Amino acid sequence: MGRAWTILDGCLASSGELAPDMPAGGADASRRAGGPTICLIGVERASEALGDRLAAEVVEQLPHAAMPFAELSEEGAVGIVVLPAAGRRAADAPRFAFELSPTRLLIVDDTGTCAPLLDALVLEAAPVGSPAGVLRSLLHVLLREHPETLSRVRGDFEAFEQLILEGRERIDRAKMMADSRRMLGLNSFYQGLSDIVDLLAESDASWVPPADRARFSVLSRQLDRLSARLESLQNYALQVSGLYQEGIDVRQNNVMQWLTVVTTIAMPLTVITGWYGMNFSRMGLTDTTWGYPLVTCICIAIVLVEVAVFHRRGWLSFGGRRRRRK
């Protein structure tokens, strides 16, 4: 079931306030009659409420849109806003479509995203002078918590970096991947939203008042700052991920080095035991009583010499504590 809001006349011609629409005959009905309206409907009613074919084609893309975008129509603009998935699959991300005209802002939303935001604008008495101003205020509300979100993601990666530098072998990889997916979603969100805002800020159409164009420009600069901060955070996340992968590689190299050392130490012993395992009757040291102890002592001496040489070269030291050769 749809809902509607109306822009009340303010003290200035270019400003006003948003209020829930009232039935005909209400106390303020005469004050609101004929003013710009904001309508919220579901997808099932979109086909009969949309103004032109372009708007209908855009709304058809609503279930499959990957990032926000907008197009100019004959009498206004039409577009889709796809919010970051926030830990969910990209296909389940909240999204809504809008059709903007001089007298109406039509929002198509089945996810329950826009109604609480519009009610919040009513409670805040946000200054809006036109349907374009309502759209700008709606997009601004969507960005309010994003600086805190970026700070929280950076705090997570700083914690990951600290654990890696302390030599911890286990970190919360699921949380790291969730933060990476969140940054990927924010990147698409900021790029698409910047295109929408720039399109409306640079529009010279009469249905975007100069005051609203200025507010769209302010919102565009805010998106630029968020995008720059996100890019820096993505680079930092790549460094932390590289540091974590480097730690994994070092541990794997240590394991392989130990296996190589053990194999090298056992190789001469394998040769000796294989040599004396041959069935020949006249092999040296097989007919003497001291032959077996002598071969045993030779094997022990070989192992001791190998261990001494490996230790001197630093092959038995791991984790960055190799001894330097003098």
pLDDT exceeds cutoff 90 at 124: no
Q: Given this model, what pLDDT does residue 269 score? A: 85
Question: Average pLDDT of the chain?
Answer: 83
pLDDT digits (tens, 9 = 90+) for 145-195: 999 999 999 999 999 999 888 877 678 888 888 899 899 999 999 999 999
- Percent of all residues in the chain with a pLDDT value above 70, rounded to a whole number: 87
| CB 24, CB 10: distance < 8 Å | no
Strand, coil or helix: 39: strand
Crossing angle, helix 114-124 and helix 131-142, to 10 degrees? 110
pLDDT digits (tens, 9 = 90+) for 216-261: 999 999 999 999 999 999 999 999 988 888 888 877 888 888 888 8
Strand, coil or helix: 316: coil
Closest residue by Cα to residue 303 from 256, 266, 263: 266
Domain ranges of the chain: 3-247, 278-313
pTM summary value: 0.74
pLDDT digits (tens, 9 = 90+) for 83-115: 987 766 777 889 999 999 888 899 999 888 899
User: Could you tell me where the DSSP H helices lie in the chain?
Assistant: 29-32, 46-49, 53-60, 114-124, 131-142, 146-165, 173-201, 210-276, 291-313
Q: Kindly indicate the confidence band of residue 79, based on its pLDDT and cuts at 50, 70 and 90.
A: very high
Q: Given this model, what pLDDT does residue 126 score? A: 78
Sheet of 104-108, strands arranged across: 16-20, 3-9, 37-41, 104-108, 95-100, 77-82, 69-72
